Structure 1
Amino acid sequence: MTANRVGEPVVSARDLSIHYVSRDALSYHKAISGVSFDLAPGEVLGVVGESGSGKSTLALTIAAQAGRGTAGSGTAEICGGSLRVGNTDIRRLTRRRRDRLTLSTGYLSQGAAVSLNPQLTVSENVAEPIFLRDRRFNQREAMTAVATLIDSVQLPLSVLDSLPHELSSGQRQRVALARALILEPTLLVADEPTRGIDATVRSGVIDVLRELQRERGFSALIVSSDLDVISTVADRVAVLDRGLLIGIGPIDTVFTDPQHPYLRSLAAVHDQRRRQSGAA
């Protein structure tokens, strides 16, 4: 977590609405409705919400990935308001602008750890985004960058020649994080970064993410259904409920005198865990 942020927002959403268009383009499902917020340079914003709240759709859209894949209900599209990431208007995103934007935006998707190419070594998986951008990039420079990041995510360099199946779930997630950061993005979008990881190593993954953010100074939008993750790593929290932004601000402020039923339930969990932490 960081402080003393200045400059233009890294992400700026104004009355943003996103819907899913069915595959036959005959029906629509609203996922995000009228959401507004800014993400400052160097800030970490946590996004929480129940399943179906729209939090993953928001992350997908900010990371400029919405048009590249489909959900079960179709393709996510901005249908109202505005969304800017850096100097890019996401509503007017061309393929060239998307490619330029993804140079400065790292995306750690749900299941990124299990999506590593099983035929590639750790070093090849992490380096792949470099060579997808520039096939002629200097091999030695790329491997140096990979080794530096593997060390930064607190893995031994001996894993560089390993295949993904030879690693634990926590190790694979650290490799996926290194891959997301290999192009030195100014923004990291991480969707459920601890999902599918053994509970005993989750805190280690979050500690690594927090330390990397502090060292490199990138902004981050972290989606999680785990309030402990958000309270550990985020400067502010945004709470979504059925596509609506029902609270945003420092976590203690958001959960002070909550009026919305879902906020009250989260506040109760937050207070209980804080008391347990104090007792320990």
Structure 2
Amino acid sequence: MSETQQGGVTLTTPHGNLADIEHLSVSFMTDAGSIKAIDDISFTIPRRTVVGVVGESGSGKSVTARSIIKLLPETATTSGAVYLSVRNDEHRLDMLSLSGEQLRQARGSEAAMVFQEPNAVLNPVYTIGWQIEEGLRAHGMHDKRQLRAKAIDILEKVGIPEARTRVDYYPHQFSGGQKQRIVIAMALVLNPGLILADEPTTALDVTVQAEILDLLRLARDEFGASVLIITHNMGVIADIADQVVVMYRGHVVEQGDVDQIFYRPQHPYTKSLLAAVPRIGQRLVVHDASGAVVERKDDWHTQPVVVEAKGLSITYPGRLMQPDFMAVDGVDFTIRRSEVLGLVGESGSGKSTTGRAIAGLQKVSSGSLSVLGVEMNGVRERVFAPKRADIGFVFQDPGSSFNPLMTIAQNVAEPLIVHHAYSSVADAADYVGDLLEMVQLPRAYMNRFPHELSGGQRQRASLARALALKPSLLIADEPTSALDVSVQAKVLELFKTLQAEIGFACLFITHDLAVVDMLADRIMVMHQGRIVEHGDADDIMQHPGDTYTKRLLASLPVPDPREQREHRARLLALS
């Protein structure tokens, strides 16, 4: 491999790959000393190929992607090499040796990044057209007509409807999936050879996720780019990746083509990662310390009704001359004691609104909703207040639901003190310690603050707080959506164990059909505020009757490349 100098940039004659990562290590300097994020990793990114990088939070996936375009903080120290081929040249760049100006020229034109959260990338005070044009201006294009034409063209290619009009819209006027499409458009507009996609589908509904993955395929097949996609979702990897790199604690533990990783995994970590993935038709079976299967003491079919809705409707009043919005439109359902009712649907379907109404956090507009014997339509707070101690709520993001200035003990003890079960945190300390141990957290964590716990640990603490008053009813709103698959598996096992022991009724809200299939006795499918399908969990999953349910199931990627190809064909047939 020969080296030359051109304009101060180190160039090397290329191999057949678009990028080569060789013995890369990255360390970060902290107050506690140097922390090594990735340690001597090597892998290649071939041309016109999708390479999936998988692993749990903290494995070094995102640091690896950012290192390729040297998008690291000043506290980072790197060693090794990252070689990136220039798309329209016979040479390649040594990315770690580039100066600031050289990096600015390479970013966008040679490699571009798609971040996990589009709201953190899009500027709310500029139109999306202006933001797409910004990248073109930075690389020398200044003709206004040409800039606008390019912005409209790329928006049409990524599937934004009415692109000629909506190019002048602001980010808040788009849905989450559309915003992710816009971020991908910003990455594609300069036609780079490499797209770095960091968890681009994590917070999206399964149908929107399928559309975004199709868009990344478009980048490979029509734009001729290579894609490095970072994810902890093995179904996504099975759906889109040609090759897979498995990372664990800063090391590459296994790499190979997608069939090899899924059907012939070698490393124990890869095997455990695949085993933790929830699958349709796979009921969750939990064993106690003695090996016996954990089962509920009572048959939920014979238990009393805890929640009953008849013609339940919830309307949000319109603002600034906008019409009212009906979030929940005349739904009927019941939840019995000891039962887990799964509520599935996409964002905006009315799932969380229904859960909040049951918890007394959202007013009922019309119809009837009986919760623990109290009619919620027109209920006064002084009537419902005594029932709040019987309702637990597990929020989607425990980080935002915990007070960051309070310790875990103070956060978990809060409902106990509010409802006068204990007079102070000190009085409740023993019981709080028992609660933490019940959710498999050490008592030593009581004095830690929320930011000192991992995502999975915070979710367990959130579950401990929700169960502190031994509620008759638990509402779990997307409690596992942001968790790694192995952490998710542990939280679900814990949830099932506690539900069997305590016997609470549960509304489990999620957009992940595989997760709800593992836990739920019955499933309701919600679409645009209405229940489109409702019945036994096995019947809904195996024999869906409604077209929307079929599309949801077909959109859910399965962690099996061969099966996923058939799955995708069914989704195309339903489109």
Tell me whether the two structures share a fold, i.e. TM-score over 0.5: yes
Report the equivalent of 2:549: 263
Shift of 1:199: 3.2
Residue in structure 1 matching 2:529, options 240, 243, 256:
243
Identity among equivalent positions (%) equals: 37
Is residue 2:401 matched to residue 1:105?
no
The count of aligned residue pairs is 266
Distance 1:84 1:192 in 2: 23
Alignment partner of 1:43 is 2:342: no
Matched residue, 1:34: 330
Other-structure match for 2:316: 20
Q: 1:211-251 CA distances to partner (integer Å, 9 max, x unpaired)?
A: 11111111100101111210111111111011110111222
In 1, Cα distance between equivalents of 2:452 and 2:421: 28
Contact persistence 1:255–1:266 (CA under 8 A): no
- For 2:481 and 2:454, locate their aligned partners in 1 and report how far apart those are by CA, in whole Å: 14
Cα distance change, pair 35–159 in 1 and its aligned pair in 2 (3 A)? same
**CA-to-aligned-CA distance 1:61-87 (integer Å, 9 cap, x gap):** 111111xxxxxxxxxx32221000111
Which structure 2 residue ranges, 5 or more long, are not aligned?
1-294, 564-575
Equivalent residues in 2 for 1:190-209 (5 A)? Answer: 190-209=476-495
User: Matched residues in 2 for 1:170 and 1:272: separation?
Assistant: 23
The partner residue of 1:88 within 355, 371, 374 is 374
Report the counterpart of residue 463 of structure 2 in structure 1: 177
Supply the distance in 2 between the matched residues of 1:155 and 1:136 (Cα, whole angstroms): 22
**Residue number in structure 1 paired with 2:501:** 215
Checking the alignment, whether the CA contact within 8 Å between 1:236 and 1:249 is kept in structure 2 is yes
Letter in 1 for 2:340: V
- Residue 428 of structure 2 corresponds to residue 142 of structure 1: yes
Task: Return the offset for 1:25.
Answer: 9.6
Q: 355, 365, 369: which one pairs with 1:79?
A: 365
2:411 aligned counterpart, secondary structure = helix
Say which SS state the counterpart of residue 171 (structure 1) adopts.
Answer: helix
Deviation at residue 58 of structure 1 after TM alignment: 0.5
| Alignment check: 8 A CA contact 2:340 2:520 kept | yes
Q: Which amino acid aligns with 2:342?
A: G
- Distance in structure 1 (CA, Å) of the matches to 2:397 and 2:321: 28
Maintained 8 Å contact 1:114/1:172: no
Equivalent AA in structure 1 for residue 374 of structure 2: T
For 2:386 and 2:342, the matched residues in 1 are separated by 25
**Cα offset for 1:141?**
5.1
Could you tell me whether the CA contact under 8 Å between 1:17 and 1:78 is conserved in 2?
A: yes
Give me the whole-angstrom Cα distance separating, in 2, the residues matched to 1:263 and 1:255: 9
Q: What does residue 73 of structure 1 align with?
A: none
Distance 1:80 1:133 in 2: 30
Question: Is the deviation greater in 138-147 or in 150-159?
Answer: 138-147
Whole-angstrom CA distance in 1 between matches of 2:520 and 2:418: 31
Amino acid at match of 1:236: R
Q: Provide the residue aligned with 2:207 in structure 1.
A: none
Q: 1:9 to 1:205 in 2, by over 3 A?
A: same
Q: 1:162 to 1:270 in 2, by over 3 A?
A: same
User: Taking structure 2 as the reference length, what is the TM-score of the superposition?
Assistant: 0.44
Moved over 6 A (4+): 273-276
Q: Do 2:306 and 2:505's aligned partners in 1 also have CA atoms closer than 8 Å?
A: yes
Give the match's secondary structure for 1:214.
Answer: helix
Mark the structure with the bigger radius of gyration.
Answer: 2
Question: Does the residue aligned with 2:337 lie in a helix, a strand or coil?
Answer: coil
Say which of 227, 236, 260 aligns to 2:513.
Answer: 227
Check if 1:61 corresponds to 2:347.
no
1:4 has 2:299 as partner:
yes
In structure 2, the residue corresponding to 1:110 is in which secondary structure? coil
Counterpart of 1:173, as a letter, is Q
Label 1:79 to 1:115 Cα distance change in 2 as closer, same or farther (>3 A). Answer: closer
Conservation of the 8 A alpha-carbon contact between 2:475 and 2:507 = yes
Query: Relative contact order, CA 8 A, sep 6+: which one is greater?
Result: 1
Structure 2 residue 410 is matched with structure 1 residue 155: no
d(CA) in 2 for partners of 1:26, 1:101: 35
Report the alpha carbon displacement of residue 22 of structure 1 after superposing the two structures with TM: 3.5
Provide the C-alpha distance between the structure 2 equivalents of 1:36 and 1:47, rounded to a whole number of angstroms.
Answer: 13
1:114 partner amino acid: S
Question: Given the superposition, is the C-alpha separation of residues 136 and 56 from structure 1 closer, same or farther in structure 2, using an over 3 Å criterion?
Answer: closer
2:81 corresponds to which residue?
none
TM-score of the superposition, structure 1-length normalised? 0.87
Per-residue CA distance 1:9-34 (angstroms, 9 max, x = gap) = 10001111111124579741001111
Q: Which residue of the partner structure matches residue 69 of structure 1?
A: none
Residues 46 and 222, structure 1, Cα contact 8 Å, conserved in 2? yes
Q: Structure 1 CA distance, aligned partners of 2:320 and 2:304?
A: 39
**Paired position in structure 1 for 2:262:** none
Deviation at 1:135, TM superposition (A): 8.4
Instruction: Map Cα deviations across residues 131-161 of structure 1 (whole Å, 9 max, x no partner).
Output: 1222862656522221111011111111111
Q: Tell me: CA distance 1:250–1:273, structure 2 relative to 1, closer, same or farther (3 Å).
A: farther
